[in-house]
Structure 1
């Protein structure tokens, strides 16, 4: 059986393609030349499984999506108190490039605006050259992505020619003694930070590292401590989408960060890392199509943080073959709450270890609840098993899946227990 998840992601892209609002970031020459019609999406589960669709091989600069991760690097290096003394965590309600500083101390209001990001970059090391700090950041993102990444030197050079406002902010920060390095060196290093080249799949894997509690899903290497992950995700939830953060949190409900090259990442702790790429930006500087795509994903997959149910440690409780030949049946016994990530493990179990018996049954006896996305995915699994030639049965004593129409009016047989199923066998 082929997984339905890539098909769904393709359908999301097809639906959102009609949105042609916004414009590319034209104040940086290299970004102004971006193809506005590029569009891609990727999901990475907490255990490292990747699903993607669209222009997944297209590389672009990470830009401001780098901010929460460099902030996390500073937290792990210096400790929470030392970083909080330099960078606050309050939403600014202002655009990313506003001069949002405390009136008395000059402390940036949060690490997601440019003032806070410049400060976090300066905290990485003392008296380091722009190239040295840039290498620190490149190495960090390579660890997060699980592969060696590079800095796009053309983007870095292009961005450095237009960075007057950041130099002004850095000079203000230096005047308040928030940091003591040369402001132009800090800005040059920060520009290199923003110029790390990634694909949408890299971004999803980077996001998946936070979703997995700071452990890179594919390599198993711990990149951030768990307290740092909690702090970073908290600030992303309240500040990651700038002056659209409140609207984002209420409608999408996923801690997120955007970048002016067109990327957006979202993290659902313990479940998913999500990334979308589309270069046209809305008035807040966020990818216009990316916002629409995230709204669709959140709605369809019940991903809003305030809606998320508890995730079972293993949704597939047991898999066994019962009965006598030639009427043996493969029984997949599920448990817990069936939402997207739990349903995805069922999909993967059937894809990775195909059913070899003619008859197959999904047993929902130990399932507590089935969310709408879980219903759709389970029914799609049943539909595809039917198309593969299997006789499909649903064991559903609590009627978690009433009227289990898998399409075209077809319904699997439904029994109340495994014993009833076996007793009904010819």
Structure 2
């Protein structure tokens, strides 16, 4: 009898398992229709369904048909908008293309009376005008610049589907009508045919769900591709794009999308959908069956379930976290490891409350920084029993947001003006608080530095070479 060997199936990681579960639960949903106004899109397999998620650390998880290419169509719009912002700046782009939800379909005639300015860059009229704003000497160079930037977002070169491009060129009369209306109003300042040639080409660029997830993750990561580490656009531009995606990306379903899912997103009539959770990850989905608003049925359903299960809504309160101040005290109760002479110990015992200490921890943003400011407001040598030195232990701080850093450094500067000397202990030597008197490699060394300063102020200083380092089990003299 022959021996049959079996190989155990590898258990997928929790994220892949969650994506696979979503795929399996929604794959049988045959609701919706293929986009038929572009003949090539009507030939796509309606059963295709891919999901991918890319993290801020460059890891990618996927399920289903995540490696099957599809044309970006309107999913290209946020990334071309980012390029226009990089070229011209927010104010110039806003003067040409608005940022207000239209409440209308993606191909609606939504132009500002008098100026012909489109309502936002996510509808077709606004996207066509946005494409015209990309700086280039000619249409060929303009498309290549767009391809280059979209490829940088994806982390690999994106190719053109010539058949879909030709199909759009032949059947895109409504987009021509929009372009001519804007040209007549004076908002479009180049030839209709030349801008539409570029616009149809950008829509016909091929990408996979994985590519789109990485593109979204790049926006979520402040414009830096987490896989290639290339800075594609600046952080303010990434923020502006995400804001417009949140309010306008899902066309006349944008309000309900933000209510139910709560993530910046953009859909396309090929069935693609891009969504971003700022600072966390990007999502790329593809399923070609569309609802009446032109959004992928399965992709929208999967996004809703993801948002519910993982609490991704932008307005979701994360709940209680660990206290931002992990430890507080003075040199009476918190002492360095330096072995001291009896005379020194006596001074530290008598005046230890001249040295205050705060150990900070966690991800410190505005609200957490405000708690710290309230705590530091009591530190003052003018107050009875007030401190003259302050040790800030920041070794447990995982991140100090820019606004929090400015708030705390201003507080350090203010403390200095009141006669409080601030010493920072940070093993990472990050220079988080530039106005501190000194930054040392550990909170223990920062506390010892303040103890030495206190002893010197009372005439009880001891030369460094006379001291021995404290060892576990040792007492004082």
TM-score (norm 2): 0.64
- Deviation sequence 1:347-375 (CA, Å, 0-9, x none): xxxxxxxxxxxxxxxxxxx9xxxxxxxxx
Residue 262 of structure 1 is matched in structure 2 by 271
Residue 94 of structure 1 is matched in structure 2 by 104
**How many residues in Structure 1 have an aligned counterpart in Structure 2?**
315
Residue 67 of structure 2 is matched in structure 1 by 57
Residue 180 of structure 2 is matched in structure 1 by 171
Cα distance in 1 for residues equivalent to 2:203 and 2:275:
18
Greater relative CO (CA pairs within 8 A, separation 6+): 1
1:57-206 pair list within 5 angstroms: 57-125=67-135, 128-129=138-139, 131-206=140-215
Is 2:136–2:142's contact at 8 Å kept on the other side of the alignment? no
Greater shift in the superposed pair: 202-211 or 140-149: 140-149
Residue 125 of structure 1: how far off its partner (Å): 2.4
Cα distance in 1 for residues equivalent to 2:145 and 2:317:
35
Residue 276 of structure 1: how far off its partner (Å): 1.0
Greater shift in the superposed pair: 236-245 or 225-234: 225-234
Larger Rg: 2
Cα distance in 1 for residues equivalent to 2:197 and 2:221:
32
Is 1:311–1:336's contact at 8 Å kept on the other side of the alignment? no
Cα distance in 2 for residues equivalent to 1:165 and 1:89:
22
Extract unaligned runs of 5+ from structure 1: 313-334, 338-365, 367-426
Provide the alpha-carbon RMSD of the alignment. 1.8
Residue 149 of structure 1: how far off its partner (Å): 1.3
Residue 308 of structure 1: how far off its partner (Å): 5.4
- Compared CA separation, residues 229 and 145, structure 1 to 2 (3 A): same
Is 1:47–1:212's contact at 8 Å kept on the other side of the alignment? no
- Deviation sequence 1:296-353 (CA, Å, 0-9, x none): 11011111111153999xxxxxxxxxxxxxxxxxxxxxx969xxxxxxxxxxxxxxxx
**Is 1:250 the counterpart of 2:259 in the alignment?**
yes
**Is 1:24 the counterpart of 2:34 in the alignment?**
yes
**Is 1:271 the counterpart of 2:280 in the alignment?**
yes
Cα distance in 2 for residues equivalent to 1:128 and 1:168:
22
Residue 237 of structure 1: how far off its partner (Å): 0.5
Is 2:114–2:185's contact at 8 Å kept on the other side of the alignment? no
- Deviation sequence 1:254-294 (CA, Å, 0-9, x none): 11000000011110100010011100000000001111000
Residue 400 of structure 2 is matched in structure 1 by none
Residue 53 of structure 1: how far off its partner (Å): 0.4
Cα distance in 1 for residues equivalent to 2:299 and 2:65:
13
Residue 5 of structure 1 is matched in structure 2 by 15
Is 1:92–1:242's contact at 8 Å kept on the other side of the alignment? yes
Residue 18 of structure 1: how far off its partner (Å): 2.8
Cα distance in 2 for residues equivalent to 1:173 and 1:49:
43
Residue 142 of structure 1: how far off its partner (Å): 1.0
Extract unaligned runs of 5+ from structure 2: 1-10, 322-360, 364-395, 397-477
Residue 179 of structure 1: how far off its partner (Å): 2.6
- Which secondary structure does the structure 1 equivalent of 2:171 belong to? coil
Residue 411 of structure 1 is matched in structure 2 by none
Cα distance in 1 for residues equivalent to 2:170 and 2:362:
55
Deviation above 6 Å: which 4+ runs of structure 1? Answer: none
Cα distance in 1 for residues equivalent to 2:315 and 2:45:
36
Pick aligned residue for 1:42 from 30, 45, 52: 52
Cα distance in 1 for residues equivalent to 2:12 and 2:255:
38
Greater shift in the superposed pair: 120-129 or 18-27: 120-129
Is 1:38–1:55's contact at 8 Å kept on the other side of the alignment? yes
- Which secondary structure does the structure 2 equivalent of 1:161 belong to? helix
Residue 298 of structure 1 is matched in structure 2 by 307
- Compared CA separation, residues 6 and 187, structure 1 to 2 (3 A): same
Cα distance in 1 for residues equivalent to 2:109 and 2:147:
27
- Compared CA separation, residues 18 and 76, structure 1 to 2 (3 A): same
TM-score (norm 1): 0.72
Greater shift in the superposed pair: 1-10 or 202-211: 1-10
